[in-house]
Amino acid sequence: MSRKQLTIWVLLTAIVLIALRPRATYAQDSGQAPKSPMNVDGMAALESNAPTDMPDTRPLGGVQDLSLGSQASRHSFLLPSFGVISQVQFNPYESKPAGNSSPATSTYVSGRLALNKISARSETLLDYLAAGAFATNSNQGNSIVQSVDFAETIKGGRWSHVFGDQFTYLPGSSFNFGGLGGLGNFGLGLSSVGLTPGFRQDLVPNQSVLTNAAAISNAAFVQTTYALGYRSSLNFFGTYGTLHFLDNGFQNSSSVSGGASYGYLLSPLNSMAVSYGFNRFIFPHLPVGADSHTVQLSFARRITGRMSFQAGAGPEIQVYRSPLAGSGTVLSWTANAGVNYRLREWGASLYYSHSLGGGSGVLAGAEADTVSGHLSRGFGKWRGFTSVGYARNRALQQTSIHVIAPQSWFGGAQISRGFGTLGSFFLSYNASRQSSLAAVCSVPACASNQLMQTISVGYNWGFRPIVLE
């Protein structure tokens, strides 16, 4: 790290300590739950005659992650917002030569629209984001960002159906996108009011290898749940996902998945499930392919508004089509675990997954391990936030001639302050690194094995919610 970068980091640390210290005593004595700008008073009218937290009823082993429950309203509403983010990056992707520390600046201007449409038997969740990026680095250039999360839940009698889709068009990997850890800082999404489609990330095309290549990712979901009784239920789902790169030198892929599970409620807080899953990975223009068959035993514990925990593991049989080397049938394992926690001003989450994946456009399939987490703490109108992520994608000898296991990681810290009801300002620092991809990817859009550091300043502002009914 250069002397200039070290000086910036010391100044940022000093700002965090000075800004947060005066609020510490109040935060310890307030005893209040953390509030996003939307939850201060902007949603008061919408939340009248409704409980603060609605229990999470998503089936264990389904297409959606479990949650803390939702701060749902009995009113349908639209939530428009916009944001502006300015960044300085040191050692940005595509910088030449490797190790070049000349900073590159960029600015994102974003607009976001969230929708919650509810009726007696259905609920629609829609989160749409559009942004433009203006960069000074000629190798990166200007770009656009598009993201759509959609879920429609229909209930009737013993039946429950979910139809959903997750679409992104990004100029780089979604893993730590923009040096911000993802898209959460671009305007006010559904998560600002405790709602989210929450699709399982192991069913969405994997992009955990850091690249600066434009790609379209889409995953469509359908799920049906039938309640056998008060305690037990059957669940069936299917998905179709694609990952298509607009730049040359990357491997497009598609996947078809399906699953069935039996869930049982052990107690009001605890549940378990036995599930079977199938995945088929297809690589256009390549003769190789891979299928996986998994059986998992899962356990979950849910305390509405406080904690959700789930963990599952089991054997996996991998079957390869036209393998280049090794056995055509391999016995492996699969596992996933996640926890969300909230207590007064504290919030935390941690997620882990081990599964067969599509290779993130760099490999023709890979065994992927992904870990991500965050920790946050509120201090009145101020809030501190840290996030970390790690991914390892091991190439398969059956589909690749290279023995490689690229690893990527990121870590960041952020402070934010709410202004009025619907505005917030934030300052963040993020660092990320990718191990060398020279053996499998020689195009400039592949991240070099150097430390990239990003300093971001942003402002998000939302209009008041528009009540639909």
For residue 304, the cross-strand partners are: none
Q: Exposed/middle/buried for 97, CB within 10 Å: 0-12, 13-18, 19+?
A: exposed
Q: Say how far apart CA 133 and CA 456 lie, in whole Å.
A: 13
Q: Look at residue 33 and tell me whether its pLDDT is greater than 80.
A: no
Q: What is the per-residue pLDDT across 42-54, written as a single tens digit (0 to 9) for each?
A: 344 444 444 456 7
Q: What is the per-residue pLDDT across 273-289, written as a single tens digit (0 to 9) for each?
A: 999 999 999 999 899 99
Q: Look at residue 28 and tell me whether its pLDDT is greater than 60.
A: no
Q: Are 9 and 427 within 8 A, CB to CB?
A: no
pLDDT of residue 68: 85
Which of 73-82, 94-103, 285-294 shows the lowest per-residue confidence on average (mean pLDDT)?
A: 94-103
Q: How many CB atoms lie within 10 A of CB 240?
A: 15
Q: Say how far apart CA 404 and CA 427 lie, in whole Å.
A: 36
Q: Look at residue 40 and tell me whether its pLDDT is greater than 90.
A: no
Q: Say how far apart CA 210 and CA 285 lie, in whole Å.
A: 24
Q: Exposed/middle/buried for 284, CB within 10 Å: 0-12, 13-18, 19+?
A: exposed
Confidence of residue 71 (pLDDT cuts 50, 70, 90): low
Domain count along the chain? 1
Q: How large is the average pLDDT for residues 158-164?
A: 95
Is the four-CA dihedral 317, 323, 324, 326 of positive or negative sign? positive
Q: What is the per-residue pLDDT across 194-251, written as a single tens digit (0 to 9) for each?
A: 778 889 888 999 999 988 889 999 999 999 999 999 999 999 999 999 999 998 889 9
Instruction: Specify the pTM.
Output: 0.84
The enclosing domain of 57 has a CATH number of 2.40.160
Q: Say how far apart CA 266 and CA 231 lie, in whole Å.
A: 7
User: Taking the CA of residue 45 as centre, how many other CA atoms within 13 Å lie in the half-sphere pointing to its CB?
Assistant: 9
**Which domain covers residue 64, as residue numbers?**
3-467
